[in-house]
Amino acid sequence: MQKTLMAKESPSKKQIFLEKLSQLEDCDEDEQKQKIGEMNEIVDRMNNNELESIFNEETFNKTEKMIEKKKISLENMCLLLKYIGIYKETNRTYFQRCREYSLGKRIQKMIIEENKRKSEEKKEKLLTDLCEFYISLSCSFSPKLLSICVSTLLKVALNKEENEKARKEVEIALLALSNIKPIDKVPKELYLNEIKEIIQYQQEHQDLTRLANQCAWQFLMNRFYWDKSMEEVIVNEQHFAREAATELEELARSVDWKKKEEEMSKEEAREMLVISRWIQALSFFFENCLVWNEEYVELFSSIVQVSRAVRENQRKICDLCICLLRNAAERRVVKDEALLCEGAVDTVLEGIQRPTLNDMATYESLEFFNAILRRLKEVDDKMEETKRKALKKEIFEQMEEEGYEDTIASFHGIMVFLQEYFDDDLSLNISDYFVNV
């Protein structure tokens, strides 16, 4: 009887990574560096699900035991863990919080102890690496840890040396800082002068990478959750909208959007990542900012350009643009003319007329039109009535020409589902989506 030989199943990336992690204990320092380099290459090829299956409590606790038994040097530990943190941030991967794990607690203690050392004894590179890893893989921070990490990383980010290594170090430091969430309260005296200097120097010299520049703005923007005076600094003093518009336009031109994601070069994929980060940051900005600036008009034009450029092959980014426009439409600080004159209405309408549409995009689009039409139906100032009627007439004619009413009516059957699914006050009255001229 002929035997059927079964091909041996190849080990998964997870299995290879964990096997190499175990082998680190039996290697000298140079061999560890080589294996860690190989492990980081494996991380580069993993998808989010594979990453989440590896970087859990078991893996972090195993790494902590290796440190405790001196089976891995602190420098090599940072080489491994910091790379994981960077990858997590650049790919928007969410791991379980490491703060409560034994590894997280050990690193907290190491940061505090290293920071206490006298200047001549302090290992600045080690402290920086520990802070970058800890911030990148934690979701909340004690005030003491936050103070040390912010001060340490801003010192790195202020480095103005003109070489590739320095630029990369600045990028990683700012990437970590951008992970400090709005809910984490950072005293103004810890960061304001430094982050303004970084942004102003970039405006004059264009020395930061695109990712580093976005991260600097992200960190500053997150701060006005607790301190509304930051809005004035960001909007009028630092000209955030103008800078964001310029970045989006340049990024949109740097990628061949006719390619599918798998066809893009590494550089194009990186630029696409930065665009996604900008769009998500701007959505938060318009959801929370209460200061108006005429530069928003240029910014909305740039957002519309990005949405139209990516529509064919990058639906996720296009949907993020629609979500952003919805947030802007619901904020009274954004003037009607800015949204209506820069193509936002056209963009959302084109988005919901495509053959395939997910629930989130449908919901955000309906909420956008609900907000726009609610604004057009209201009259706050009689002096603006003539202008408002002209806007209503213009948008009515545009929507009639584009078949807007038929498009909206086609979603009527799923509105109850969308309202319940998103637990929000989506209007179920179809007439709320139509302009009365």
pLDDT of residue 250: 92
Residue found under tokens 């031109």: 253
Contacts of 145 (CB under 8 A, 6+ apart): 108, 111, 112, 134
Quick one: tokens of 323? Answer: 């979500």
113 vs 387, more confident: 113
**3 pLDDT higher than 50:** no
Distances (CA, A) of 391 to 157, 343, 384, 394: 46, 13, 11, 5
pLDDT of residue 93: 53
Question: What is the enclosing helix (H) or strand (E) of 373?
Answer: helix 359-377
Cα distance between residue 240 and residue 193, in whole Å: 16
The candidate with the shortest Cα–Cα distance to 302, out of 326, 327, 275, is 275
pLDDT of residue 5: 44
Quick one: tokens of 191? Answer: 């960061």
Cα distance between residue 376 and residue 335, in whole Å: 11
Cα distance between residue 365 and residue 353, in whole Å: 10
What Rg do the C-alpha atoms of the chain give, in angstroms?
25
**pTM for the whole thing?**
0.87
50 vs 125, more confident: 125
pLDDT tens-digit profile of 151-186? 999 999 999 998 999 999 999 999 999 989 888 899
Pair 333, 290: CB distance under 8 Å: yes
Residue 6: pLDDT band (50, 70, 90) is very low
The candidate with the shortest Cα–Cα distance to 200, out of 165, 158, 151, is 158
331 vs 191, more confident: 191
Neighbour tally for 50: CB within 10 Å = 17
Q: How far is CA 370 from the centre of its chain?
A: 27
pLDDT tens-digit profile of 53-82? 877 778 888 888 888 888 888 888 888 877
**8 pLDDT higher than 70:** no
